[in-house]
Structure formats: C-alpha cells, structure tokens
Amino acid sequence: MKLSNGVSPSERQVLGTGLHLDLDAVLNAADSAMVFVDEDDIVRVANEKACRYLGMESDKVRGLVFQELIKDNLTPRVQRPKALLDWLELVRAMHSFSAVSSAAGNRCEMAYEDEELGERVLSLYASFVLDRSGAKLGMLYVIDDITGHRRAEKMLELLSEAAKAADADSCPGELLLKLREAVRQYVPADAMAILEAREDGKGVVLGSTPPAFLGGPGSAGPLAGYLPGDEVLFDIVTDVGKSLSELGTEGRGASVLPPAFLESAFVEGFRSMVTLPLRFRGRVIGMWILASARIGTYSLDDVSFLTPVSQYLAGIVNNAVFSNNVKGMYSAAVRKREAEAGFSARISALTGKISKGEGNDSSDEAVDSKELEVLFRIAQEMKKLLDLRELLDHLVNLIAEKMGYSNCVILLPDEDGKNLVVEAVVGMSREQIGTKIPKGKGISWSVMTNGRTENIPDVSVDSRSYECARGVGSELYVPLEVRGKTLGVVVVQKTEKNGFGPGDARLMTAIAGHIASALEVAQLHEQVKKSACVDALTGLANRRVFVSSLETAIRRAANRDYGGVVSVGILDVNSMKAVNDCYGHLTGDAVLAHIGLRLGSGFRACDVVARYGGDEFVVLLPGVPKELASKRIGEVVSRWVKDSVKTPNGEQVAVPAACYGVASYPEDGHEARVVLSVADDRLLRAKKRLGSR
C-alpha cells in the first residue's frame, strides 16, 4: 500500500496540530488497525483499533517513539516478542535504502493474547508513505486480525490429515473422533455427528461421537428443510429444551433435525446445537452437527468458521457413502456366489459328479464378481486418498494389478482444455508421463469428445493412434464420466493384438464411472488446496508460496543443489495507475492478467512465478546466475510490451512495460529476506532511472 496523498515535507511538520484530524478520519474508517509514524519513528496518528491493541488512548499515543511503544505495550502480550522487535529493526533498516511497498520482510505474524477475545493471530504490515515526488514521509503500520483465516487453514490441514489417518472401514466414525478434537480447539464441540441426506427426505446417522449421540449410526428421521425445493444455509438451536416445546408451533419447526434427534440429544445432556449442510457439487448430501452441553453456545461467527470445513468435509462424506454402498454390494455378491458354489457342490455329490467349475459360473457372473472386487478396492482408496496425484497413481496400479493388463494410462485435460495430458502411467508407457495430446488428435480425444468406449484390436493399423508406446498390440479406451461430464480417459493396453473382449469393455466401463467419482472428489480437494496457493486474478502462485519456495531453494542451494545459485527478480509494472485512471479497474485487471499469462509461460517449469501484490510480480530461478536471470526477465518483458488488451468498450490498450531488479544467492545474501531486499533496492534504482529520463 502506498500513500501518495500530496503531503509535502512542510505540511508534515504540522502533523501534530491540524493535519492529523484528516488522517484520523481516514485511518478510523479503515477495517484494520493503523499507525502512521514519521521518519524519526514518532507516532503522528493512530486510529482507534490500533490504540486498542496498544492499550492507550489516541491522544496519549501521539508523539511517542513507535518502537518503544511496541516494546512496552504490545510485546508483553505477544508469544515471541523478540521476533517482533527484530522485524521492526529490519523495517527501519530498509527505510534507509528502499521505498517499494512490498519490500522483503515487510510483514510479520504473531500470536497475541487479547484480554477479551483470548489468543489471536495478528499480521503486521509496513508500508512507506511517499509524497507526490516520491520522497519518503514516514511509515504506515497496519495490524490485521487474521485469526479466523489461520484457524480455517489449520482446520483444513487437520481434516485432510484425519481423513488420511482414519481406517477406511471405520470412516466416518474414526474421522469424527479426530475431527472433534481438532474443532474443539476453536469451537465448543461436546458431541458431533454426520448424517446422510437421502432422496426420500430422511436423514441417517453415518457416524457420531459419543457413539450414542443422536441414537448412533443407523438412526433415521425426516429432515425438515432439506426436501426438494427447500434451501437451508445452516441451523442454530440455541436452546434444545425450548425448541422441543415449540415443535407444535406453525412453520417448519424449531429445527431442520427430526424431533427424535433433538429429544435424544436433550436426554444425553446437550443443550445447544449447530447444523451445517454438506453440499457436494451443488446438492446437499448430508449434514454436519455439533452439540454443546451449554445453552446458547453457537453464533454466526462459529458458522462462518465452520462453513469452509463443511465444504471440504462434504467430499469425504460423499466418498464414505459410495464406499458403504459398494461394500454392501460386494458382500452380497460374495454371499451369493458362496451359496451358489455350495449348492453346486451338493448337487455334484448327489449325482456322483466332480465339479470342475463348469456349473453355474457364467462369464457375466465372473465379470460382476471381478467388477465388485475392483470397485471395493477403489472405494477403499477413495476414502483415504484426497491428493489427486496420489489417487491417480494408486488407481492405475490397482487396475493393472487386478485386471492383468500390461499398461494402464489416465489422461486428463489441462486447464485450458487444449490438450489431454498423460497424468498417471503404469507399465510400458511410463516414459510417456506428461505427454500432451493436442485437441482433436488421437483416439483419446475422440473418446473424450463423443463419450464412447473404443476397443482397438490392432494399434498398428489404426491411423488415429498418437505416439503409442512401443510393444503395444491392442488398446481399450474408456471415458471417465460422472453426471454427464467427461473428466478424462482411461486407457488399458496389452502386448498382443485382439487382447480385449466384450467382457473387458463392460468391466472397464463400469469401473471407469466409479474412478470418475473418485477423480471428481480429488479434483475438488485440489481446488481447495490451489485456492490457498494461487493468485485469483493471474493464476500465478501467491506471495506465501513464493517466499516458501525461495527459502526452500536457498536451503537446497546451500547443499550444492542448483549449482549453488538461486536468482530472484522483482518486477513493477509501469504506469498502472494511469491505466486504471484512464480505462477503469476492469481494464487494469485485464492488463495484469495478461502479464501474468506471459510471465507464467515465459520461464522454465522449475521456475516459480508469483504475483507479489498489486502491480508487482516476482520470479524465482534456481540454478540461474544473476546476469542470465536479468536477461531472461528482460526478454519476457520485451515480448509482452508488443501486446494489447481490450477495454469493455472494445478499445485496444497497450500493455505497459515493467522495471525490475535482480539479486542472487549467495552473491547478494545468504537469507531469503536479504536477497529479496537487494532485488527490491535494484528495482527502486531502475524506477528512478526511468523517472529521470
């Protein structure tokens, strides 16, 4: 954030008298806590939110030395005061040589003990305040409460780990035990349950903790508000006893839960409850219920915190329901075949014949049994493997192992839908991993487009074959379809020609539908992870990912990886304010998105390109010396300046150039923050040179 509000040095001298009144109004209107200090580190203005953290009134804060104020008033309530003080020293040191707002180290997170709210997570951000000429007037410190954000991130991590750790046959029971322990760190949860919402309007308890909560697994009842056409976002029962007494009143009732569930909870001593719908791909598949022994426990803040977790939990529950259904089908099929085998043996004994397998075992029944066995294994994998890459690798190995195929390949479309990419391979085709098949090319695109299984008895005579692996004689292509949408293609291969019959096609078609369901859940999980790592406007990595990648790269370079060299470039797009002022922010966003596209495609796969904030981008180039890194960045910039984007009115706007600074490890420093600071300083010099022309 840059404040370029036209405050001249002479006006700065009267900040303590009249000008602070205007700044007071501006800073108090902000959602964050803000403190403005001058070049001598003297507090000139602090808004009401900042004063609350500092424990002092505004008029008493003004005129004090900021670092001393922090040391005396804030550090006693911070878990790691030294880290905070070191960060303040770094910011002050940077003040002497850099004026770029996103300089390295300008953000600090800390655990803070609030007298009213308990432990909170605060983020401190430092921004230089400049006048119109670019001269520094001081620093603006911003304090944000990011407790909710960090808690939600932690909950998603814990939920993912719990899902992986839970035994496949005990989910969601074991998962609930782990989930309740995780949730109780942030929201009271004396009991917890997951319901499946069935199409007949009934809710069935899939799992609960304690085990008897809501009657235990298998308990059922009608769900008000979840029937077709109804839409309930969430449900808070402040007083279970009072809600039970209001069951006879008009309207939809006191809760979406069946009266029997409320009565059971009341008898067990639970006095308040919150219910969140579990939505998967636009439909409610169940509900997540938390209960407390106290009246009035839950609030809208709790719902806001729990909602992202419920969205993630829905995918796991969808898998659990599918797994339970397949498990039932598998068990029933096994019992049926055991009964048939026993009956056949008894008949053979009575007639004096020895059964050698000819009996009642038709090819269709053999296929059914094999299908259910593979489906059962897939269901077990689905319940624990939410990571897309891990799931794909397990599935291809499972199919090849159980079906006896030489090769198994899964192809998925890339983000642009222009290529099918070989994402997972087992067998002879392993060297094809990562291969891209352009749209319209090969048999795989034909299957992807028309959604029909294709059996290729001899790949050598089919002109549509595209880069087939050596030694492959025949192939079977099957679309991965779920709810009318084709997500990809699974291909199985054999060395001999005419290797696949009608039974293989039936079996793989049945299995492919369930693989698609598993894939859909894993892709949803991937989207959740990606949303925490990707800049929404440009699709590049975000600041957090970049800093983490840089620290990892420097550690590896210190161990002689990458030739011991890591370079970093910081780019600042020129004249973005003019673009926004002249053409509007929509056009400005389009410019930044276009630059993000050019940057994303302009470097190696091992390089990390990120949006650092606003109109600033960063590039991490492992193993590339500083001079070569600068040359590569310059080449990418020179390509995009030839481009233009359209305004909403159809007018063409030239994409502006960018200034950049480059630094490298170990030449310019041995720590990530130091290398970034040097690159930032060189960026500032480049901007000054541009401004002096």
Least confident of 173-182, 332-341, 508-517: 332-341
Q: Give a yes or no: residue 591 inside a domain.
A: yes
In the predicted structure, residue 543 carries a pLDDT above the cut 80: yes
Q: How confident is the model at residue 247 (pLDDT cuts 50, 70, 90)?
A: low
Mean pLDDT of the chain: 77
513 domain residue, yes or no: no
User: Would you say residue 98 has pLDDT above 80?
Assistant: no
Which residue is it, tokens 């193993």?
A: 623
The owner of tokens 């690159």 is 679
| Position 347 in a domain | no
Q: Which of the two residues, 310 and 572, has the higher pLDDT score?
A: 572
Q: What is the reported pLDDT for 356?
A: 40
Is 321 part of a structural domain of the chain? Answer: no
What is the C-alpha separation between 320 and 204, in angstroms, rounded? Answer: 13
**Same domain for 131 and 158?**
no
Do 121 and 223 belong to one domain? Answer: no
How far apart are the C-alpha atoms of 537 and 529, rounded to whole Å?
Answer: 16
* Alpha carbon distance 219, 203 (integer Å): 8
- The residue ranking higher by pLDDT, 85 or 94, is 85
- HSE-CB of 174 using CA atoms within 13 angstroms: 14
| Distance between CA atoms of residues 421 and 441, nearest Å | 12
Residues 465 and 568 in one domain: no
Q: How many CB atoms lie within 10 A of CB 484?
A: 6
CA-to-CA separations, 151 to 243, 296, 456, in angstroms, rounded:
31, 22, 52
Q: What pLDDT does residue 302 have?
A: 81
pLDDT digits (tens, 9 = 90+) for 405-453: 878 899 999 878 889 988 888 876 566 778 889 988 889 999 999 888 9
Same domain, 214 and 86: no
Of the candidates 448, 483, 505, which is a domain's last residue? 505
Most confident of 103-117, 149-163, 210-224: 210-224
Query: 475: which 2 tokens?
Result: 């192939």
Question: Average pLDDT, stretch 210-229?
Answer: 74
Per-residue tokens: 91: 């910011």
Q: Are strands 118-130 and 107-114 parallel, antiparallel or unpaired?
A: antiparallel
Position 226 pLDDT exceeds 50: no
Let me know whether 111 and 162 are in one domain. Answer: no
> Does 196 map to a domain?
yes
CA 46/CA 55 separation, integer angstroms: 12
* Euclidean distance between CA atoms 326 and 345, whole angstroms: 28
Per-residue pLDDT tens digits for 370-411: 555 666 666 555 555 556 777 778 788 888 777 778 788 999
d(CA 132, CA 490): 60
Q: Which CATH number belongs to the domain containing residue 133 in this structure?
A: 3.30.450.20
Asked whether residue 310 carries a pLDDT value surpassing 50, the answer given is yes
Contact of 292 with 183, CB cutoff 8 Å: no
Instruction: List own/partner pairs for 48-54 with CB under 8 A and 24 or more apart.
Output: 49/143, 50/141, 50/143, 53/112, 53/122, 53/143
One DSSP character per residue, 227-296 reads STT-----EEES-HHHHHHTTTSSSS-S-SS-HHHHHHHHHTT--EEEEEEEEETTEEEEEEEEEESSTT
- Output the pLDDT for position 130: 72
Q: What pLDDT is recorded for position 668?
A: 92
pLDDT of residue 630: 95
Instruction: List the single range of 380-394, 585-599, 644-658, 661-675 with lowest mean pLDDT.
Output: 380-394
- In terms of residue numbers, what domain contains 395? 390-505
| The pLDDT of residue 678 | 93
Nearest of 393, 454, 459, 445 to residue 424 by alpha carbon: 393
Least confident of 228-242, 316-330, 393-407: 316-330
Kindly state whether residue 366 falls inside one of the protein's structural domains.
no
- Cα distances (angstroms) measured from residue 302 to each of 189, 297, 651: 11, 9, 47
The Cα–Cα gap between 640 and 113 comes to 48
CATH number at residue 404: 3.30.450.40
| Residue 676 and residue 565 in contact, taking contact as beta carbons nearer than 8 Å | no
Closest CA to 521 of 358, 371, 391: 391
Give the mean pLDDT of 328-351. 47
Does some domain include residue 20?
yes
In a domain, 326, yes or no: no
226-230, 415-419, 438-442, 685-689: least confident range: 226-230
Strand partners, 127: 140
Assess whether 208 and 124 both reside in one domain: no
Last residue of a domain, one of 113, 145, 177: 145
What pLDDT is stored for residue 273 in this prediction?
A: 92
Number of domains in the chain: 4
Q: What is the per-residue pLDDT for 347? A: 38
Q: Are residues 477 and 458 in the same domain?
A: yes
One domain for residues 295 and 160: yes
Q: What is the mean pLDDT of residues 166-170?
A: 43
14-18, 133-137, 640-644 — which is least confidently predicted? 14-18
pLDDT in tens, 635-644: 999 999 999 9
> For residues 140 and 293, is the Cβ–Cβ distance under 8 A?
no
In 3D space, the residue among 244, 240, 243, 306 whose CA is nearest the CA of residue 277 turns out to be 306
Pair (659, 673) in one structural domain: yes
* DSSP code per residue over 427-481: SGGGGGTT-EEETT-HHHHHHHHH---EEES-GGG-TT--SPPTT--EEEEEEEE
Per-residue pLDDT at 188 exceeds 70: yes
Can you tell me which residue has the tokens 């000054």?
Answer: 688
Q: Quick one: average pLDDT of 199-206?
A: 81
Question: For position 92, what pLDDT does the model report?
Answer: 74
Q: What CATH number is given to the structural domain containing 564?
A: 3.30.70.270
Q: Give CA–CA dist 549/543, Å, rounded.
A: 10
Give percent above pLDDT 90 in the chain. 19
Looking at residue 537, its pLDDT comes to 85
Same domain, yes or no: 91 and 157: no
Residue where one domain finishes, among candidates 313, 337, 360: 313
Q: Which region among 5-19, 90-104, 222-236 has the lowest average model confidence (pLDDT)?
A: 5-19
198 and 237 fall within a common domain: yes
| Residue 444 amino acid letter | S
Whether pLDDT at 665 is above 80: yes
Tens digits of per-residue pLDDT, 255-289?
Answer: 678 788 888 899 999 999 999 888 876 678 888 99
Residues 167 and 297 in one domain: yes
pTM given for the model:
0.41
